[in-house]
Structure 1
Amino acid sequence: MAIVLGTPAVDGVREAIAALREWQYDQAPMQLHSGDIGWNYRLGTAETAAAVRTWRRDGRILAVGMLDSPTLVRMTVAPDAFQDEGLARRLVEDFSLPERGVLPEGAVSIEAPLGLLLHDLLTKEGWGVDTPWTPLFRGLAEPVEDPGVRIRTIGPEQAEDFADVLRSAFDTSRPTREYWHAMSAGPFYGDARCLGAYDDQGNVTAAVTVWSAGPGKPGLVEPMGVHQHHRGRGYGRAITVAGAAALREMGSSSVRVCTPSSNVGAIATYKAAGFEARPEVRDRIRTA
């Protein structure tokens, strides 16, 4: 059967999310998670649907991608299709030909999990590798320790706190309180918890959003940040521990995150919160 590339309508994103949830398991490599699409809802419902791509054979979704930017697609495939040659060849074609509507001409990137036949074919086609990222994991079979600071669930009244941390942590002016409102109004926010850490004066110091893929599945940290005025005081570790505890309450079996290997501070924070680093991963890149 032929493989069909599609961009789902707004309602069709649910099916892509369901596939991503099903494909998560503790031994899986770092890969696109349902929470990645959930986090994208901060940009709007129609915008999120327009960023999603699916590849189907005989009606079944075999691969899901999300355009994190016009030149970066993050994707994964069904566990039983990692070595599917027909799918891998179709993916290479769709990523290489701008008229297919996935990536444009010029410099572009693909984030894909280790173990895909796709990587071998991209190498043969001359695609290179980008700078390394470090995946980190923490199992949630055992109870999670107390974070040691005041933690609040972020709701409408704390939306500005959430935005303030993101602006400061990631040195950008883009996040506003509408980020939280749009994300929380999305159809998959029931899978998420958004938490803030506060100091003794009631100032927000850090924030995290975590996403469940369902009971017995690994959850995702996306994003976590510490306000610049409160760095170096353990708030990053504390909010990450709080996020892990929230995922355990939701039934998650583990929690994962991936950060640039050059961000040694973030890696140290996650390790302090009980995460273990896994082998580095790299995006595939085409420079021209």
Structure 2
Amino acid sequence: MTESLIIARSYAGDEDMALIQQANARWAQMASSLGYIHPGDIAHRLGNGMRKAKMPLTETVQIWEKDGEVVGWVANYQYWHGFELQIHPDYRGSDLHNCMADWGEAQVKAYIENHPSAEPDAKKEIFWDLFEGDEATARLMKERGYKPGDKSFSYATRDLSEPFGHAALPEYFSIRQVTGPEEVEAIIAVHSGAFGSEWTAEQYLKVMEGPGYLAEREWVVVEPLDTFAAFTVTWFDEINKTGLFEPVGTHEKYQRAGLGRALMTHVMYHMRNQGLETAIVWHGNDNPASAGLYAALGFQRRYTIQEMKRELT
């Protein structure tokens, strides 16, 4: 009997977003969440994070399938000169794992060569994140010459069955869900004000129309004059009963007023009422404000994610 072949193909559209999200959820259920980004984070990274990409997802995401089932996928993060590699737990450390890394590196290398830095002495490096404890991926990275980079992140979780306590809003402030695309201007104002980013209405409407995003899962703190003061987008994994906060932000004019804590507390009650069991956040380890907020809300670090880099020769 002939063994089934593993076939690689390009990302084709929104249906494939759902496929790779479902694959990540199944893999996390089969093994553990170690090494896997949340299904919602896939939509966030490939939608929000890639909004200024020069190439479409059909050219930057590759999917590997066996008998019609996704066994791995890679995304080329153009602007960051890095890639995401997610693989079925049965194939970690296999020839397929190595082949997928080849594809990811080749894509990033081609992008770097075709879009040279304005700084002539800039290093040409490829970046790839490593969950500490993912020994198969760590070995593969070592064989390929990767070394720790400057950044690391915490993946923190919070049991939604535990008490939340009370987090009050300032007088006349309120919390509600976004109603839909008609609020896009107010949404991009609070996103930009929180992170110093530059959003256009067209860019955010594309995010809102993308797979996985639901307006009722974007929550805002509204100040007395009806301006959005803080926000969070939440993403649900129904298979593993987890809810991801990504991103969370408070407009610079309203920071240090407890809005983020009140908002997340409110939304965690909602998550629990929707049947979810665990809340998840990511944050940079160079961001003590975020670390302090999440710790105060009862989140505990589960994994450390280390940026790894390899210099091109």
Counterpart among 209, 213, 221 of residue 189 in structure 1: 213
What CA distance in whole angstroms lies between the structure 2 residues aligned with 1:143 and 1:181? 36
Q: Does the C-alpha gap of structure 1 residues 16 and 116 become closer, same or farther in structure 2, counting only changes over 3 Å? A: farther
Q: For residue 162 of structure 1, what is the aligned residue in structure 2? A: 187
Counterpart among 47, 58, 67 of residue 41 in structure 1: 47
Q: For residue 135 of structure 1, what is the aligned residue in structure 2? A: 155
What CA distance in whole angstroms lies between the structure 1 residues aligned with 2:129 and 2:216? 23
What CA distance in whole angstroms lies between the structure 1 residues aligned with 2:5 and 2:146? 25
What CA distance in whole angstroms lies between the structure 2 residues aligned with 1:23 and 1:94? 21
Q: Does the C-alpha gap of structure 1 residues 112 and 53 become closer, same or farther in structure 2, counting only changes over 3 Å? A: farther
Letter in 2 for 1:73: F
Q: For residue 118 of structure 2, what is the aligned residue in structure 1? A: none
SS in 1 for 2:229: strand
Counterpart among 79, 94, 104 of residue 95 in structure 1: 104
SS in 2 for 1:219: strand
What CA distance in whole angstroms lies between the structure 2 residues aligned with 1:218 and 1:74? 21
SS in 2 for 1:19: helix
Q: Does the C-alpha gap of structure 1 residues 78 and 154 become closer, same or farther in structure 2, counting only changes over 3 Å? A: same
Q: For residue 110 of structure 1, what is the aligned residue in structure 2? A: 128
What CA distance in whole angstroms lies between the structure 2 residues aligned with 1:52 and 1:160? 30
Letter in 2 for 1:12: D
Counterpart among 1, 5, 8 of residue 8 in structure 2: 5
SS in 2 for 1:126: coil
Letter in 1 for 2:184: A
Equivalent pairs counted in the alignment come to 284
Alpha-carbon deviation of 1:9?
0.5
Q: Does the C-alpha gap of structure 1 residues 138 and 191 become closer, same or farther in structure 2, counting only changes over 3 Å? A: farther
2:126 matches 1:125: no
Q: For residue 65 of structure 1, what is the aligned residue in structure 2? A: 74
2:227 matches 1:203: yes
Alpha-carbon deviation of 1:144?
4.6
- CA-based RMSD of the aligned residues comes to 2.9
Question: TM-score, with normalisation over the residues of structure 2?
Answer: 0.78
Which structure's CA Rg is the greater one? Answer: 2
Letter in 2 for 1:169: A
Gaps of 5+ in 1: none
What CA distance in whole angstroms lies between the structure 1 residues aligned with 2:163 and 2:135? 34
What CA distance in whole angstroms lies between the structure 2 residues aligned with 1:228 and 1:66? 32
What CA distance in whole angstroms lies between the structure 1 residues aligned with 2:273 and 2:297? 17
Q: Kindly, what percent of the aligned residue pairs are identical?
A: 21
Question: TM-score, with normalisation over the residues of structure 1?
Answer: 0.84
**Residues 244, 255 of structure 1: 8 Å contact kept:** yes
Gaps of 5+ in 2: 114-123
